[in-house]
């Protein structure tokens, strides 16, 4: 029987340049306030000196344009003085001076603009990759979402080319594996699945590599694409069934195929059994439907960049593309061994950048998993509705997709 080809929507251009530039400094996410100083703002600055004197304090420096003062206090008395000052009617507010740190202690986190975009920019030492400073907050507010939940134990199925056995940032997150490709090793010798899985659930705060969008999530690794990134409708349908049987709350499919009644039945069965399904919209740069994304019970995801603009390669069209997520220069995990990409052998050292709606889909899948985690009694319908309805509307993109660019923080509130 002739197989229908399912091509992984592989990155249009994967960097594979040696990533050698120095890691930025990092600090813990939870730190105590800075000792010996508090921030005070007065309703009328003319009252400041008198009020501070009542508490045995002198006036401090003004903080930029805020009109608040940074006041020196005895170490250990910060909280007590904040409470006392807050009760004074002349004080608008008093608050601790908090330590500002990197959001996670992962080496490459600052490159992950999709999770937190401060307008950061990078050029690698080889000069082969530049990420220009993007638009501040053109991101999915993952760091803010993690204050509510990191998705602990929520299972996300990645139906893809497998997940590498040798990447300490993502391999330990795999709780079940199955190989539907027939004959090949269960390892990822294509790279695509490892990259997608890392976007979902790479371990955060381990000093290493990247952070997943849902760092507490676990991965069901269903290998449906072979080591050339190709599979069949039947293997994909089997993978969907396996994912549901193994407790997947979300199923990510960064791949595309022509319509198939078998595939649609598998999709609908999974949805009816309680899984949210997410798929790439495609990299055609046009409005051509691909499946499973175009099925009604699958969220189809387009790609944006670090300016919240539609990626040039992204398939689009609000009639069937549901939502968008960053898909340009997305950092994630790769195998830590030689694998095949196209016709070439590639030696990867565990991390690289990827481009494609394949990278956008797992961000939405992870946001759905975070939403499940904060609403355990929800249904696929309510989770999908939450993720879609709370997306950030991006001016000028209304005809490209039905909802906005996903916002994980909104999805968990
Ligand atoms: Ca943000
Ligand atoms: Ca990490
Ligand atoms: Ca759809």
The pLDDT of residue 263 is above 60: yes
The pLDDT of residue 338 is above 60: yes
The number of distinct structural domains making up the chain is 2
Measured in angstroms, how far is the CA atom of residue 117 from the centroid of ligand 1? Answer: 6
Q: How far is CA 360 from the centre of its chain?
A: 8
Q: Which ligand number lies closest to the CA of residue 26? A: 2
pLDDT at 32: 60
Measured in angstroms, how far is the CA atom of residue 24 from the centroid of ligand 1? Answer: 19
Q: What pLDDT, in 10s, does the model give residues 116-172?
A: 999 988 777 777 777 788 999 999 999 999 999 999 999 999 999 999 999 999 999
Question: Pick from 226, 351, 259: which is nearest to 4 by CA?
Answer: 259
Q: Are residues 89 and 109 in the same domain?
A: no
Residue that has been written with the tokens 């989770």 in this structure: 383
pLDDT at 26: 27
Region 282-304: what's the mean pLDDT? 97
Residue 373 lies in a domain: yes
Q: Are residues 115 and 88 in the same domain?
A: no
- The residues, any chain, with a CB within 8 Å of residue 154's CB and separated by 6 or more, are 214, 216, 217, 218, 249, 250, 369, 370, 372, 373
**The one catalytic residue among 106, 139, 141, 160:** 160
Q: Are residues 117 and 73 in the same domain?
A: no
CATH of the domain at 44: 3.30.70
Question: Pick from 160, 157, 161: which is nearest to 227 by CA?
Answer: 161
Q: Are residues 87 and 108 in the same domain?
A: no
Q: Are residues 74 and 184 in the same domain?
A: no
Measured in angstroms, how far is the CA atom of residue 13 from the centroid of ligand 1? Answer: 26
CA-based torsion, 326, 328, 330, 336: positive or negative:
positive
pTM: 0.79
Residue 21 lies in a domain: no
Q: What pLDDT, in 10s, does the model give residues 399-412?
A: 999 999 999 999 99
* Domain range enclosing 397: 104-412
pLDDT at 292: 97
pLDDT at 129: 75
pLDDT averaged over every residue in the chain: 88
pLDDT at 193: 96
Q: In the listed set 74, 96, 118, which residue is the last one of a domain according to the structure? A: 96
Ranges assigned E (strand) in 240-290: 250-253, 255-256, 276-280
Q: Are residues 48 and 171 in the same domain?
A: no
Residue 400 lies in a domain: yes
Question: Where does the pLDDT of residue 314 fall: very low under 50, low under 70, confident under 90, or very high at 90 and above?
Answer: very high
What backbone torsions phi and psi does residue 389 show, to the nearest 5 degrees?
-75, -20
Residue 139 is a catalytic residue: no
Question: Where does the pLDDT of residue 8 fall: very low under 50, low under 70, confident under 90, or very high at 90 and above?
Answer: low
Q: Which ligand number lies closest to the CA of residue 170? A: 2
Q: In the listed set 96, 126, 142, which residue is the last one of a domain according to the structure? A: 96
Q: Are residues 277 and 294 in the same domain?
A: yes
Question: Pick from 351, 316, 322, 318: which is nearest to 335 by CA?
Answer: 351
Two tokens, residue 128: 């082969």
Q: Are residues 59 and 152 in the same domain?
A: no
| Nearest 10 degrees: Cα torsion 378, 382, 388, 392 | -60
Q: Are residues 166 and 295 in the same domain?
A: yes
Measured in angstroms, how far is the CA atom of residue 327 from the centroid of ligand 2? Answer: 19
With vertex at residue 275, the alpha carbon angle to CA 271 and CA 279, rounded to the nearest 5 degrees, is 85
Residue 160 is a catalytic residue: yes
Region 110-121: what's the mean pLDDT? 92
pLDDT at 340: 74
CATH of the domain at 114: 3.40.50.200
pLDDT at 41: 94
The more confidently predicted of residues 96 and 254 is 254
Percent over 70 (pLDDT), the chain? 90
Collapsed DSSP state (helix, strand, coil) of residue 88: coil
Two tokens, residue 145: 């979402």
Q: Are residues 215 and 199 in the same domain?
A: yes
Q: What pLDDT, in 10s, does the model give residues 30-79?
A: 346 778 889 999 999 999 999 999 999 999 988 877 889 999 999 889 99
Region 188-197: what's the mean pLDDT? 94
CA-based torsion, 96, 97, 103, 104: positive or negative:
negative
Q: In the listed set 73, 96, 119, which residue is the last one of a domain according to the structure? A: 96
- The residues, any chain, with a CB within 8 Å of residue 171's CB and separated by 6 or more, are 163, 164, 165
Q: Are residues 150 and 53 in the same domain?
A: no
């Amino acid at each position: 029987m002739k197989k229908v080809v399912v091509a992984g929507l592989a990155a249009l251009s994967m960097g594979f340049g040696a990533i050698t530039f120095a890691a930025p400094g990092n600090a813990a996410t939870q730190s105590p306030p800075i000792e010996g100083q508090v921030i005070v703002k007065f309703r009328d600055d003319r009252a400041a000196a008198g009020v501070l004197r009542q508490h045995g304090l002198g006036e401090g420096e003004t903080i930029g344009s805020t009109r608040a003062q940074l006041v020196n206090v005895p170490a250990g008395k910060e909280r007590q003085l904040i409470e006392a000052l807050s009760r004074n009617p002349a004080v608008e507010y008093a608050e601790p001076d908090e330590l500002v740190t990197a959001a996670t202690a992962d080496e490459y986190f600052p490159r992950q603009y999709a999770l937190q975009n401060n307008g950061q920019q990078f050029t690698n030492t080889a000069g082969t990759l530049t990420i220009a400073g993007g638009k501040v907050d053109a991101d999915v507010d993952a760091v803010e979402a993690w204050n509510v939940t990191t998705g602990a134990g929520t299972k996300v199925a990645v139906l893809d080319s497998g997940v590498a056995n040798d990447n300490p940032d993502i391999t330990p997150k795999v709780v079940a594996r199955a190989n539907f490709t027939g004959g090949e090793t269960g390892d990822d010798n294509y790279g695509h699945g490892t990259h997608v899985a890392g976007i979902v659930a790479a371990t955060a705060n381990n000093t290493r590599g990247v952070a997943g969008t849902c760092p507490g999530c676990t991965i069901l690794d269903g290998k449906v694409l072979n080591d050339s990134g190709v599979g069949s409708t039947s293997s994909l349908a089997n993978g969907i069934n396996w994912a549901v049987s193994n407790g997947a709350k979300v199923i990510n499919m960064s791949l595309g195929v022509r319509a198939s009644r078998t595939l649609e039945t598998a999709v609908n069965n999974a949805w009816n059994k309680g899984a949210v399904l997410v798929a790439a919209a495609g990299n055609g740069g046009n409005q051509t439907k691909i499946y499973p994304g175009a099925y009604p019970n699958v969220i189809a995801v387009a790609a944006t960049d670090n300016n919240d603009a539609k990626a040039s390669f992204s398939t689009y069209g609000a009639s069937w593309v549901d939502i968008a997520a960053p898909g340009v220069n997305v950092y994630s995990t790769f195998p830590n061994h030689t694998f095949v990409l196209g016709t070439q052998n590639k030696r990867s050292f565990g991390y690289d950048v990827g481009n494609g709606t394949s990278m956008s889909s797992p961000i939405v899948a992870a946001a759905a998993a975070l939403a499940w985690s904060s609403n355990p009694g929800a249904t696929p319908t309510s989770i999908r509705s939450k993720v879609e309805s709370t997306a950030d509307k991006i001016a000028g993109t209304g005809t490209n997709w039905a909802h906005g660019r996903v916002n994980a923080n909104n999805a968990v509130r």
